[in-house]
Amino acid sequence: MHPSYFLNVGMSENDPARELKLPPEVSEWLFFTNYWAHLNQVGEASFAQYEEEVLTSQLIPSAIEALERIKGTLSATPTHDIQFVYGWNERREEIFCTISTSLLLEKVVCLEEFFLAALHMQADIYCQL
């Protein structure tokens, strides 16, 4: 697992709000939920794990809309933790990750706010997934 990094290319290099880093567990979970695959279909993009891509200002509204749906689902989740498969070991056994529902929700909100700031500026976002 590794974190995801986002860079608002419309902001000054000196602005600390220009960058956002998602923890590895949140990054993996977004792939597990097919968040990025959805954006690939909607925007004819090619977001892939361990790759770099630009989220264009034209695609940001779709990214925000998908995050809104995720927020609704997480808010309605009665459990404190979410467990998901993020890989397999050499014996082809599933490897699980467990993450707090509240932490996921907090980081999804941060990502949404970051995207909203870029949308307001009509700026693209460089993504290192």
Mean pLDDT by 10 residues, the chain (129 residues): 94 93 96 95 87 95 97 91 94 96 96 97 96
Half-sphere exposure at residue 11, Cβ-oriented, CA atoms within 13 angstroms? 19
What are the DSSP calls for 90-123, one per residue?
TT--EEEEEEEHHHHHHHHHHHHHHHHHHHHHT-
| Residue 92 pLDDT | 95
* CATH 1.10.1740 is the classification of domain 4-128: no
Helix extents (H) in the chain: 24-32, 35-43, 60-76, 101-121
The pLDDT score that the predictor gives to residue 126 is 97
Q: What ranges do the domains of the chain cover?
A: 4-128
Look at residue 96 in the predicted model and tell me its pLDDT.
96
Query: Is 0.85 topped by the overall pTM?
Result: yes
Query: 129, 117, 104, 115: which is closest to 50 by C-alpha?
Result: 129
